[in-house]
Structure 1
């Protein structure tokens, strides 16, 4: 699968497919996976902790029904957070673990869960105050040499944290919260750092993480008013406008759509065809910040 085909489509975020959300049966996992593939959505975002360490294996059970599906899709997963759950009795408190031993063991468990011999992309889930970049790089190089991971990246890392790690290994993705409601990545150097290093930014909660379902949000009226006008102009829906706004940034922001509805994923895919004019982009920026640019 070439890189451009990945970038043109959104990523299906699977956090709420299992215990932490819809509680899908194996049949329902298969139905949504199939619907994604039929609509050209081929990347699926996981983390080992999702569903209290159960969602990866449930997704894997669906794939095992038709083993040929694996070659049609791209599996992304994360590790590095240790949660306290009954199926991880050795964890005394919630903490981070980016030791080489933990990364390698996490990958081996994820491979078993998914029923596959490789992960297309592994991300470190959160910055770890005890992260040793030499140790992480050693684990990543070892896993790549074994063919167990094809690409490596990070999640929620700030530019200086990415730079430190890049002194020792290649970082190809940074998944962080980016939306019209969460502008930090535009202001703290994260996106500029992605452009500088040719890192692909992934946006989790690209539609505000459900905040647009609450009309009491302080920026709801201004953003929705502007987005509605632009949706009329571009002949699409508001969700498409908000995703197109992200696509307009030169870093090539890739949205991770955390939904259990294929319709939402199709909307996000359709947004890739919208060529938003520069002034329209700034109309939404001003609607979000409440201020004209300097």
Structure 2
């Protein structure tokens, strides 16, 4: 499995296992979670994507319960903060909101460390742009958690270029990634400047929902695209899921897709995407199906 350097000291596996569904279903046992992590490690997938809000603020603890110290040294943990929703430990809150204050960022980091039973977070992301963000205060807080050793690198999620430059302007630490929605169905970042902004700065983007939340495979409006994906997958001895992820991997921006599933068989096949070397014509063929028309 290829690896991508976000900083000189922090590298992630090219494919990332997303843990937003870790709290789904009935079996959250350490043994079940460990089996999922082991299935990832068997393919060279070492990076686990978390957020404090996942699983109603429970997914980090579920991971921590399955994370002996020897396993922690084999993985990288990405987690996020700033969303406060009326659930879990915030059940009494009246409304969902964002909090990028210093107090909240520092408390969130400490809480995540306790829940995941670890001394450090590899990458901390601000989960959503905060309309009330004081960029000087937030930037200083992110610098602080890095300087403390609690966090190795910091980035953002769902930020637009202007959100990025505002926050970065108040920081000593370089932001290392922006996790945004990118897929064949959410392809606007390729043309609206989101990816170009990062690519110009040699910042690898992370892609959440790289399979379009599953609608890529179940929505009849995408039947032609699905047929084309199946053909590409079959030509490489794999399936349409791998082909859809390979489409992202083929882009020179060094996109890191974040794939979330609780099915062990599907987890075991995540790495198939790395076996597809997609040429330019095939890339544009899939893109054309996604657009519903040929490119201009």
- TM-score surpassing 0.5? yes
Question: Which segments of 5 or more consecutive residues in structure 2 lack a partner in the other structure?
Answer: none
Deviation at 1:206, TM superposition (A): 0.7
Deviation at 1:272, TM superposition (A): 1.9
CA contact (8 A) 1:178 1:203 kept: yes
Q: Deviations over 1:79-130 (max 9, x none)?
A: 0100102532452211000111100100000000011110000001111111
- Over aligned residue pairs, what C-alpha RMSD do you find? 1.9
CA contact (8 A) 1:185 1:191 kept: yes
Structure 1, 154-163 or 74-83: larger mean CA deviation: 154-163
CA 1:230–1:38 in 2, change beyond 3 Å: closer, same or farther?
closer
CA contact (8 A) 2:4 2:254 kept: no
Quote the residue 1:13 is aligned against: 18
Q: Deviations over 1:187-219 (max 9, x none)?
A: 221110111122111111111111134243x2x
CA contact (8 A) 2:12 2:76 kept: no
CA 1:33–1:287 in 2, change beyond 3 Å: closer, same or farther?
same
**What SS is found at the alignment partner of 2:295?**
coil
**What SS is found at the alignment partner of 1:30?**
helix
CA contact (8 A) 1:6 1:43 kept: no
Quote the residue 2:74 is aligned against: 72
Quote the residue 1:25 is aligned against: 29
Pairing partner for 1:179 from 168, 180, 183: 183
| Alignment of structure 1 residues 57-68 onto 2, 5 Å | 57-63=61-67, 66-68=68-70
Query: Is 1:159 aligned to residue 161 of structure 2?
Result: yes
CA 1:278–1:22 in 2, change beyond 3 Å: closer, same or farther?
farther
Q: Deviations over 1:145-167 (max 9, x none)?
A: 11000011111111221122222
Q: Using the alignment, how far apart are the partners of 2:231 and 2:36 within structure 1?
A: 32
Quote the residue 1:55 is aligned against: 59
Using structure 2 for the length normalisation, give the TM-score.
0.92
CA contact (8 A) 2:185 2:216 kept: no
Quote the residue 1:192 is aligned against: 196
Deviation at 1:26, TM superposition (A): 2.1
CA contact (8 A) 2:198 2:204 kept: yes
CA contact (8 A) 2:36 2:267 kept: no
**What SS is found at the alignment partner of 2:205?**
strand
Query: Is 1:40 aligned to residue 44 of structure 2?
Result: yes
Quote the residue 1:127 is aligned against: 129
Number of residue-to-residue matches in the alignment:
289
Pairing partner for 1:205 from 184, 195, 209: 209
Q: Using the alignment, how far apart are the partners of 2:224 and 2:127 within structure 1?
A: 33
Quote the residue 2:114 is aligned against: 112
**What SS is found at the alignment partner of 2:251?**
coil
CA contact (8 A) 1:22 1:260 kept: no
CA 1:213–1:293 in 2, change beyond 3 Å: closer, same or farther?
closer
Deviation at 1:3, TM superposition (A): 4.0
Quote the residue 2:255 is aligned against: 253
Structure 1, 234-243 or 83-92: larger mean CA deviation: 83-92
Q: Using the alignment, how far apart are the partners of 1:231 and 1:119 within structure 2?
A: 35
